[in-house]
Each structure stands twice: as structure tokens, then as C-alpha cells.
Structure 1
Amino acid sequence: MKKLLTLGTALILAMSVLAGCSGSNSDEKVYQIATDTTFAPFEFQNKDGDYVGVDIELLAAIAEDQGFKYELQPLGFNAAVAALESNQADGVIAGMSITDDRKLKYDFSAAYYDSGVVMAVSASNDTIKSYEDLRGQKVAVKTGTEGASFAESIKDTYGFELVYFDESPFMYEDVKTGNTVACFEDYPVMGYGITQGNGLKMVTEMEKGSSYGFAVLKGKNAELLEKFDAGLENIKESGKYQEIIDKYISAE
């Protein structure tokens, strides 16, 4: 009987050790990172249906440098922000402009790209060439973007009406069909889209805008933010950062 008890105790201890070992692996943190779905060249799907772009490759390079794991959630910009605010995501990387208003709700990484806003019209439109030409017209913007914020800041001055879209391709199509006469978009996004044949053309100089940053909910995931900043600095020093930027934006 004593031998049986000893054997049973040994088995229980062995199982406990094994459970502890497997638990340490399963407990490894996997961050949920939300992103946009169509904001080329920062995030978009290639012909194989895989998500690619500046943000996607930067995140992968930083995660590899810092040794953390993540799952990408391509949700669309508004849904990505909503997921962050409802604790369904740990962070957002989506060409997100660092603004004073957003700093009230989110903590941002160091800026990883300096952007700006430009106005574009249909490639066949020769009548809209400046903000003054927008008076009495409808203009398209993407909800939650810096392009929308800029358009909102000047719409009363130039007397135009805004029409909101959740996705850039729908906004572009609306301009091409003439339902709206122009749209405001981030410069590198519009520049890349034009090279890919989106049917639009830029008619204004770039308005200097905010920089893009990786965001977490204010007061949360400080460790993830620190890892992002450290990784960003490392890949800049190694040349990997510039390699990624040149791959998507060097022609701008």
C-alpha cells in the first residue's frame, strides 16, 4: 500500500510539472492588433488576398526585432478604433494620424511616417482646380481620417458639402461617377492610388498634416508601446525601415 501511495504521489507531481510547462507556453501573450482594410500603400490586400503594405511590414519587422507575437485584425478604420476602445484589440496600426484630440483617448508611439492631405478629382475633370471651385458642390471624405478633418475645417469658408465614406475605394468611385466632385485624402495614399490607376488626379499642393503613429488605449499596454518604439528605432538603424518605405512610397 505504501508503495502504491508513493507511486501515486510521484505521478501527481509529474503531471503537475507537465501542466506547468504546457501552461507557460499557452500563456505567452499574443497581441491583437487592429488595422484598416483599404488604405494603400499602408494596408491593402494583394492579388493573393494577403494583407500587405507599409504598416503591415513595419509591424512584422518590429515584432520580429522585439520578439513578440500578434494576430492581425483587418477591420476597417472605424471598426479598428472601436475594437481598441472596447478592449477587443491591444493596439491599432492604420495610418492613424497623431492629433491632440486623439491623445486624450490613446497613447501613441513615436511617429513612424510624416504625412499630409491633398485634394483629388476625376482624371477627366478639368473644372475643379482649387478650393474655390468647390462652392455649392459635394465633396467626398473618408470617415475618421485627417483628410476628413481638413475638409471639415475649410468647408464653411469655401461653401461645400461633405459626403462620408467608410472605405477609400467607395469614395474614389463616387468622385469618378460625378456624385461628388472631389475628395480629400492622405497624400501618400492618393499618390499610390493614382499610380495604380484609381482614375483620379491631384489638383492641389499637399497640405502639411500630422504624423502617423501606433496607438494603444490610454493607460493600457504600455509594454507593447515600449516594444514598438524600441523596435522602430532598431529597424531604422538597421536600414529595414527605409527598405520598407522605399518599397511602397519611393515613387511619390
Structure 2
Amino acid sequence: MHITRSRFLRQWALGLLSFICVLTFAACGSGTPSTNTPNPADTGETSGNTTLRVALDPTFPPFQTTTSGGGFEGFDIDLINAIAEAEGLTLDMQGLPFDGIIPALQAGTVDLTISTMTITPERAQVVDFSRPYFKSGQAIAVQESNSDITSYDALAGKRIAVQIGTVGADQANKANAADVRTFDNTPLALQELANGNVDAVIGDAPVILYAIKSGSASGIKVAGELLTEEYYGIAAPKNSPNLEAINAGLATLLENGTYREIYQKWFSGEPSELPEQAPI
């Protein structure tokens, strides 16, 4: 009888312990996320209240430049602000050298760039682009007295100044030039031309034409025809969820006339028709 009662007590104690363990496990498990629940950081989802860090190179008037008060102004600035307003986005604009912007996008230290960045196949391999927001092309600038350089072929054996990391730099490196000098921005390259230290500059046509019109680069002219037909895009890291809102906002501005208003604030004439995708 004593043995039977002891055995019963042991079995009862073991059963009670098992029951407590089950309750404890269930209680602990209820606060633990399932292994099948995705982490928002892993899915790339962003909160509607997220501030987007926008990189730009403020040395490219009339697209972007620094104001006397330390802010930014230009066509690109007005455009990205209008897109943000249309989509309810908050922006934090940060100035960076142009050749450092794509590395910053790849490193995730910025979320977007609107910096007159030409959409190219090479860039599209490492970043994603919005639909085109501006039609442009590469132009050759020479001194007004220059009559020798009238085409791209005439650049062979010449001294050329360019902005580092640009399509203009790529064009110059293929021109069989005697010397290609790189600068941090196009205005510095144009000043090198105005001073007679180089024979030509290759750069974005709107920037060169604006420099001539505003008088910031004196005694120069555009030679020959545009070398390329290009489109600028707003770039983001690969698979960024932010481009959907950017494209939607840009489409709204194109449809409601806001894009045209911004264009005519900074340029003369009518804006070019823009495709939904760049022909690259």
C-alpha cells in the first residue's frame, strides 16, 4: 500500500510538472514572432512618415546650386519638392560631389538622387532609375574665336576639360584627345576654357547654354551639333520601394501642368516630350 501511494504521488507530481511546462511554453511562445513573419527592414518597406535623404551636386546651375543662405535652388530642386508635395513625402537634401553619389546610393547612406544624372546602361546595372524627367545631350564648348573645332572628330589631339564622372568625361576619353582634364564641376571646366588653358569642354548642353546666357562663362560658344540624346533620371538603390511614389508624383506633374511651369521658370520655350522609359 505504501509503495502504491508513493508511486501515485510521483506520477501526480510529474504530471503537474508537465502541465506547468506546457503552460510556460505557450506563454513564452505567444510573444515570439514566427519565423515566417517578414521583418520590414528585410522587405524594403518604408513608413509613410519616412524622411527620404536626397543627394545632389549643387554645382550645376540652373538645375541645382547653393543659395546665399546655404540652401539649394534650381530646376531639380523645384521638381523634387513638387513631387514630394504631390506624394506627401518628406525630404532631407544633402550636397555631395557628383562622383560620390552612386557609391552613397549603393552604401545606403542616401535614398535618392536628383542630380542631372544621365540614364545609361552602365549606371542602370548598379542603381534603379525613375522615368526620365529631362531630355538633354552633350555639347562641345569652345572659345568664341575658335574656328578649328566644329565637330567631335576635330577634338582629336586637343586639350579637353570635363566634369569628373560624367557622360561628358566618357565622350572626352574616346575622342583621341591630347589631354583630358577633370574638374569637380562643369563651371570650373568652363572657366578653364575661358582662361585659354584647354581647347574645349564637353558637358551637358543645358548647363553650358545657361552658363553662356547668364554670363558666368564669358567668351565661349557651343560648337557643332549635340553629340548625344540623353535623359536624366532620379536614381535610387537597387529594388528601392521609393521609386513607385517618385514615378507617380512625376506623372502627376506632367499631367497637371506643374512640370511645364517649373520648366519655364528656368528655361525658355516648351519642354520636350518625355518617354515613360529611357531608350537605353
Partner of 1:23: none
8 Å CA contact 2:105, 2:127 repeated in 1: no
Q: Paired residue for 2:204?
A: 186
2:222 is matched with 202
The whole-number CA distance in structure 2 between the counterparts of 1:165 and 1:152 is: 14
- Indicate whether 1:146 and 2:167 are aligned: yes
Q: CA deviation at 1:135?
A: 3.2
Matches of 1:186 and 1:246 in 2, distance apart? 18
- Contact residue 120 and residue 204 of structure 1 kept, 8 A: no
Q: Which residue of 1 aligns with 2:88?
A: 67
**Can you list the C-alpha shifts for 1:159-208, whole angstroms capped at 9, x where unaligned?**
44311111112111111122211000111111111101112210121123
Letter in 2 for 1:171: A
CA RMSD after TM alignment: 2.0
CA distance in 1, matches of 2:131, 2:153: 36
Deviations 1:59-78 (A, max 9, x none): 00000000010100011211
SS at match of 1:207: coil
Deviation at 1:238, TM superposition (A): 1.1
SS in 2 for 1:97: coil
Q: TM-score, normalised by structure 2?
A: 0.74
1:46-102 Cα deviation digits (max 9, x unpaired):
455431111111100000000010100011211222321221101111000111111
The aligned residue for residue 214 of structure 1 is 234
Structure 2 unaligned segments of length 5 or more: list them: 1-46, 271-280
Q: Provide the residue aligned with 2:245 in structure 1.
A: 227
What is the one-letter code of the residue matched to 1:179? Answer: N
Residue 134 of structure 1 deviates from its aligned partner by 2.8
Q: In the TM superposition, what are the counterparts of 1:10-49 in structure 2 within 5 Å?
A: 28-49=49-70
Which residue identity does 1:138 align to in structure 2? R
Q: Report whether the alignment pairs 1:101 with 2:122.
A: yes
Q: Secondary structure at 2:60's aligned position in 1?
A: coil
Length, aligned pairs only? 222
Offset, 1:126: 4.1
- 1:103–1:70 distance in 2 versus 1, CA, 3 Å: same
| Matched-pair contact (CA < 8 Å) for 2:49–2:89 | no
Counterpart AA for 1:110: R
Code of the aligned partner of 1:245:
Y
Secondary structure of the residue that 1:111 maps to in structure 2? coil
- 1:118 matched to which residue of 2? 139
Segments of structure 1 that go 5 or more residues without pairing to the other structure are: 1-25
1:146–1:209: 8 Å Cα contact kept in structure 2?
no
Corresponding residue of 1:83:
104
SS in 2 for 1:245: helix
Q: What is residue 30 of structure 2 aligned with on the other side?
A: none
